[in-house]
Amino acid sequence: MTLAPDDVVDRLFAAIQHNDVEALERLYADDFRLWHSFDNSTKDRTKCLELIRTLGHVATKQYRLIESIVKDDRVVRRYELTLNAPGRWSDYRVNLVFFLTIAGDRVASMEEYIDSRDAAEAIAAVQAAGIVLTSV
């Protein structure tokens, strides 16, 4: 039974939030791609899984859904993301918008939009904490 696109996205963000790499391996299509607005770069499936593994060791993530729009196989989600890294920083908040394309029960692609200032501050905070993100 194929899930509704919105249900696939719910599972995706639950897996990201809980650092469930095994679930993400099932949810990401084999040719999955993630594009970032702040640096106009595209990451493949392997790089995205690596990033989740890395952040999962040092930070907790909390996604608060603000808005969701579904049109056929496309889902648009707006979130407030709160990051906490014990001993490093707490309640660091960033606003994000994702455009996702769903193929069956898998995520084929994502486009992530973040204000460039928020992105720069988030990357600086992570680097200041001594965390190396080779995927960013």
pLDDT digits (tens, 9 = 90+) for 17-55: 999 999 999 999 999 999 988 888 999 999 999 989 888
Q: Is domain 5-128 classified as CATH 3.30.300.30?
A: no
- Supply the mean pLDDT for the chain: 88
pLDDT at 133: 55
Task: Return phi, psi of residue 34, to 5°.
Answer: -125, 125
Question: Domain boundaries in the chain?
Answer: 5-128
Q: How far apart are CA 64 and CA 104, in angstroms?
A: 25
At 63, is the pLDDT very low, low, confident or very high (cuts 50, 70, 90)? Answer: very high
Reduced DSSP (H G I as helix, E B as strand, rest coil) percent helix, strand, coil of the chain, to 5: 35, 45, 20
